[in-house]
Amino acid sequence: MFVSVRPRQLLAVLFAFALIASACGGGSDDPVEDAGGSDAADTDDTTTDSDGGATDTDTSGEGADESADGSDLVTEDPTAAQSGGTLRVGIEGEPDSLNPTSTAFAPGAILMGTAIFDTLTAWSEDDLWVNNLTESWTPNDDFTSWDMKLRPGITFSDGEPLNADAVLRSVEAQVNDPLIGLIFIPVFDPETPFEKVDDLTVRITPLGSNAVIPAYFATQLGMIGSPAWLDARDVDPSLDQMPIGAGPFKIESRVQDSVTRLARNDGWWRDDQEIYLDAIEIFPNNQEGQRADQLLLGDLDMNHSTDGDSAIRLRAEPSIKRIEDDSGEEFFFIFNTSSPPFDDIRVRQAATHAFPREEYNELIDQNIPRVADSLFTPESRWFNPDVTQIVDQPELSGPLIEAYCADVPESCTDGKVDIEYQYNGPSLSLDNTAAVMRNAWEPFFNIETQVVPQDDFITEVATGQFDVTTYRTHGNVDPEIEFTFLSCSAILGVFSLNWSRYCDPAREELLLAQRNTADEAERIELWQQISQSIADSYQYLITNHTNWIVSANENVNGVCDGTNVDGDTLQCSLNGAWRFPQIWLSQ
Please provide residue 174's backbone torsions phi and psi, each rounded to the nearest 5 degrees: -70, -50
- Separate counts of helices (H) and strands (E) for the chain: 15, 24
Cα–Cα distance measured from residue 273 to residue 583, given in angstroms and rounded to the nearest whole number:
11
Collect the ranges in the chain with pLDDT lower than 70: 1-68
Closest alpha carbon to 367 in 315, 300, 304: 315
The alpha-helical segments, DSSP class H, found in 25-163 are 107-117
- DSSP letters spanning 367-382: T-SPB-SSSS-TTSTT
Q: Which one, of 454, 460, 578, lies nearest residue 27 by Cα?
A: 454
Q: Does a structural domain hold residue 39? A: no
Whole-angstrom CA distances from 576 to 121, 318, 330, 493, 512 are 19, 21, 14, 34, 30
Q: How many domains does the chain have?
A: 2
Cα separation values, 216 from 37, 64, 175, 202, 243, Å: 7, 32, 12, 15, 21
Question: 3-class secondary structure for 350-366?
Answer: HHHHCCCHHHHHHHCCC
Q: How far apart are the first and last CA of the chain?
A: 52
Do 194 and 277 lie in one domain? The reply is yes
* 76 inside domain: yes
| Residues 61, 122 share a domain | yes
Helix axis angle, 397-407 to 345-353, nearest 10°: 150
Give tens-digit pLDDT for 393-448: 999 999 999 999 999 999 999 999 999 999 998 888 899 999 999 999 999 999 99
Looking at the fold, whether 262 and 349 belong to one and the same domain comes out as no
43: closest CA among 144, 137, 150? 137
Q: Are residues 445 and 493 in the same domain?
A: yes
Residues 377 and 408 both lie in one domain:
yes
In a domain, 30, yes or no: no
Domain carrying residue 106: 52-326+548-585
Q: What is the DSSP letter of 341?
A: T
Handedness of CA 472, 29, 419, 394 (dihedral sign): negative
Q: Are residues 530 and 580 in the same domain?
A: no
Tell me, what's the pLDDT at 227? 98
34 within a domain of the structure (yes/no): no
CA dist 351 and 525 (Å) reads: 29
pTM of the model: 0.85
* Contact (CB, 8 A) for 264 and 251: no
Domain check: are 537 and 554 in the same one? no
| Four-point Cα dihedral 283, 284, 290, 292, nearest 10 | 70
User: Does residue 385 have a cis bond before it (omega within 30 degrees)?
Assistant: no
Q: Output b/e per residue, 97-129; b: 16+ Cβ within 10 A.
A: bbbbbbbbbbbbbbbbbbbbbbbbbbbbbbbbb
Domain assignment of residue 342, yes or no: yes
What is the model's pLDDT at position 230? 97
Phi, psi of 252 (to 5 degrees): -105, -40
> CATH number of the domain that 206 lies in?
3.40.190.10
Position 216 in a domain: yes
Burial class (CB in 10 A: 0-12, 13-18, 19+), 8: exposed
Q: Which CATH number does the domain housing residue 395 bear?
A: 3.10.105.10
Closest CA to 263 of 246, 283, 280: 280
The answer on 233 and 222 residing in a single domain is yes
Assess whether 528 and 560 both reside in one domain.
Answer: no
At 111-121, the pLDDT tens digits run 999 999 999 99
Is residue 43 situated within a structural domain?
A: no
CA distances from 403 to 126, 417, 548 (A): 49, 11, 42
**Both 302 and 387 in a single domain?**
no
- β strands within 443-485, DSSP E: 445-452, 468-473
Asked whether residue 18 is assigned to any structural domain, the reply reads no
Q: Quote the CA–CA distance of 419 and 408 in Å, as a whole number.
A: 13
Question: Which whole-number Å values give the CA distances from 251 to 117, 174, 279, in the listed order?
Answer: 10, 21, 10
Q: Are residues 97 and 223 in the same domain?
A: yes
Same domain for 559 and 537, yes or no, is no
